[in-house]
Amino acid sequence: MSQGDEIPVQVEAMHGNVRPILNEVMHALDKLLEAGITTTIDLASLPFAPGELDELEATFGKGELSAKLDALGTSRIRETTYPGVWWIEHRNAHDEVVGRYLEVTRLPDILSSQDADIMAGRARLGEQFE
């Protein structure tokens, strides 16, 4: 039996969604620089044609910094080749993508240590040494 990728289907190329997103990101960068306003674009809400998401990811590329978060599955938080533009991908425990975002910010919130976790960690440390 043939594997799915052996079936000779050639999908005609379309690039309807990539350019508007690049425009939106450009305006978001202006807002970040001028007023410090951050923007998040939820990529799951857009109707991408096959291949368009890969094209978008390739267009943004990989920048200087990337981080891996292990919480309810793995998340990858990566600055793109455009500083201030972050590609964020959340996966569940089965390594399936459950959310994909472009965040235009100086540092995504999820990278900062959270007060609730700091307090819980402080309590654990206290139990161990006090």
- Beta strands 97-104 and 74-79: pairing type? unpaired
Instruction: Tell me, residue by residue from 52 to 91, as one string, x for binding to another protein by CB under 8 A and - for no binding.
Output: x----------------x-xxx-x--------------x-
Binding of another protein at residue 45 (CB under 8 A)?
yes
Residue 25 CB, shortest distance to another protein, in Å, is 14
Instruction: Count Cβ atoms within 10 A of the Cβ of residue 88 and give its class: 0-12 exposed, 13-18 middle, 19 or more buried.
Output: buried
Please give the Cα distance from 76 to 36 (Å, whole number).
24
Residue 61 CB, shortest distance to another protein, in Å, is 23
Please give the Cα distance from 130 to 3 (Å, whole number).
61
Q: Which residues bind another protein (CB under 8 A)?
A: 8-12, 14, 16-17, 40-42, 44-50, 52, 69, 71-73, 75, 90, 92-94, 96-99, 101, 109-110, 114-117
